[in-house]
Amino acid sequence: MRITPRAVALLTAVSMVTPLSAWADEIGRDALVARLGAATPTGANVGIGQVEAFESAGNFGPNRLLAEFAGKTFIDMSGSSGNSGHATFVGQNAYGTATSIAPGVSNIWVYEAASFAQTANLYFGNSAQTPLFAPSSPVPLRIFNHSWIGSFGNVAFDNEVLRRADFSMNRDGTLFICGENNGAGSVMNSLMACGYNGIAVGLTSGGHSAGDVATGVDGAGRMKPELVAPGQFTSFSTPVVSAAAALMYETTSVAPYNVNTTRRKGVTIKSALLCGATHNAGWQNQTPTSGPNRGLTVKPLDPVFGAGTVNVDRAHRILTANEAAPSATAAGAATATAQPLVSWDYDVYVAAMQRHYRIDLPAPADFSALITWNRAPTTQWTSGSAPAVVNLRLELKKVVDGVPVAITGDAGVGVFTSGNVLSASAVDNLEHLYIRGLTAGSYVLSVTRDDALTSVAAAALTWFVDLPVILGDIDGNGVVNGADLGQLLGAWGTAGPGDLNGDGIVNGPDLGALLGAWS
């Protein structure tokens, strides 16, 4: 099947790159550098696939002679290309040495969009061929940046492309970062933003297509986008999120964090990026503010801004925390050891499975929790029925006299100021709690599988309590104690957890700082 000229369209071809200094603070990069210093990740040893539409005949790739791209290796996956101004701007935000938060990305695979959808990667239209594996040499390709929109002109064809993309991400642990259309209220194109397992990206200004996935597309009614980022157009906000993902992939691929390989799965990186996003003052996910459904939503994201503005400092804090240890029942969690205030947990959810986590808040705070899970399509690419997707529910309850108690409705008045404590979408493959003004006390965070399917789902739960960072609180539980000391000593001589002064090594000055902050 040939793609018509209108099927793949540039989001924009005329712009200029905004200096990094203009938006670094907005996405948490300044906070990340202030906290980590010399140990700040740069995207080193993480590959990016740059997928571009033709800007003009024969031109879809970045200008490799640009000074910002010196020392970088470009691998042509769709044949040779002339220079595209659009692709050059995208590249500057994704991996440029002066304008990207991921200047350490040194290997870029360049694809033309129609070629990528067909023989260069996804193999749309070839029922016998699965998508190609993501390249692993000279460094692993982890992220595919899609700063283009389009359609094959037929919803069944678009669904096949999206199924193949989700299959690829679920198999390889990669992430597709996909731009929305430009313009508030504009049409949401199916490709590539309407997949399940990737991240659709809009603009912090709100000037992008947003809302529910259209009827006919797999998973109609799901909310898009998932994240927003700064940029003049979505073509250029999308690589900001790709660069953020590169920092997370690097962090989770080096010692000591690489010991737990589930940290660097695409679904875990995605969950951390969404959960850690900054929610602006007007952020809301259509939760009733009074009555019996106060605190309950079936629409987990803001209808325009998704989970919020990408924040690399918060996402990094989530992914470098210890993986949580769940309880099998809510009652068991209510009396179990409290989990860190910032944490994550990866699991494969089978039928009727539940996971529960006790979280103790030492002071009032805003609370964010998010779980997302992959669609795992079979190779029945062209089936008229969309692949079935499991359904999980996310809820926070308050522990009262040792018992977890629901705080939806009037029971939550006085417990939290606003937001939702129960997320129960029937169609989205994510659930999100964002609670403002949650009072101090003990809580149980619960994930429950509600569907009757026999399939399983790889899912990542993340949470973030917005309290000031306490120097020396390595495990994120709000106090500096023996557990933190043990982690610091275990990382002695490395750049791992415990590098409190950000000089790139855990040593005596860090030990002194921790002991000085002892609770």
pLDDT at 240 over 50: yes
pLDDT at 468 over 90: no
Strands (DSSP E) found in 92-204: 107-112, 141-146, 148-150, 175-179, 199-203
pLDDT at 501: 86
pLDDT at 477: 64
Which CATH number among 3.40.50.200, 1.10.3980.10, 3.40.710.10, 3.30.70.270 corresponds to the domain 8-254? Answer: 3.40.50.200
pLDDT at 12 over 50: no
- Distance (Å, whole) CA 386 – CA 217: 9
- Of the candidate ranges 66-80, 129-143, 376-390, the one whose mean pLDDT is the lowest: 376-390
Degrees (nearest 5) of the Cα angle 375, 52, 460?
25
445, 324 Cβ separation under 8 angstroms: no
* Residues contacting residue 244 through CB under 8 Å, at least 6 positions apart: 27, 101, 102, 229, 273, 310, 312, 315
pLDDT at 292: 97
Q: What mean pLDDT, rounded, does the chain reach?
A: 93
Q: What is the pLDDT of residues 326-342, one digit of tens each?
A: 999 999 999 999 999 99
Question: What are the CA-CA distances from residue 338 to residues 80, 269, 358, 517 (Å)?
Answer: 56, 24, 5, 21
For 484-504, what is the mean pLDDT? Answer: 85
Which residues on neighbouring strands pair with residue 431, listed in sequence order?
A: 371
- Of the candidate ranges 89-98, 154-163, 353-362, 482-491, the one whose mean pLDDT is the lowest: 482-491
pLDDT at 16: 53
pLDDT at 223: 99
Q: What is the pLDDT of residues 39-61, one digit of tens each?
A: 999 999 999 999 999 999 999 99
What does the domain layout of the chain look like in residue ranges? 8-254, 322-466, 482-516
Percent of the chain with pLDDT over 70: 96
* Cβ neighbours, 10 Å, residue 417: 15
Q: What is the pLDDT of residues 142-185, one digit of tens each?
A: 999 999 999 998 999 999 999 999 999 999 999 999 999 999 99
pTM of the model: 0.92
Q: Which of 249, 247, 204 is nearest to 23 (CA)?
A: 204
Which CATH number among 1.10.1740.10, 3.30.499.10, 3.40.50.150, 2.60.120.380 corresponds to the domain 322-466? Answer: 2.60.120.380
For 490-494, what is the mean pLDDT? Answer: 89
pLDDT at 4: 29
Backbone dihedral region of 254: left (phi > 0), alpha (psi from -120 to 50 degrees) or beta? Answer: beta
Degrees (nearest 5) of the Cα angle 270, 96, 27?
45
- Distance (Å, whole) CA 406 – CA 427: 23
- Distance (Å, whole) CA 55 – CA 81: 11
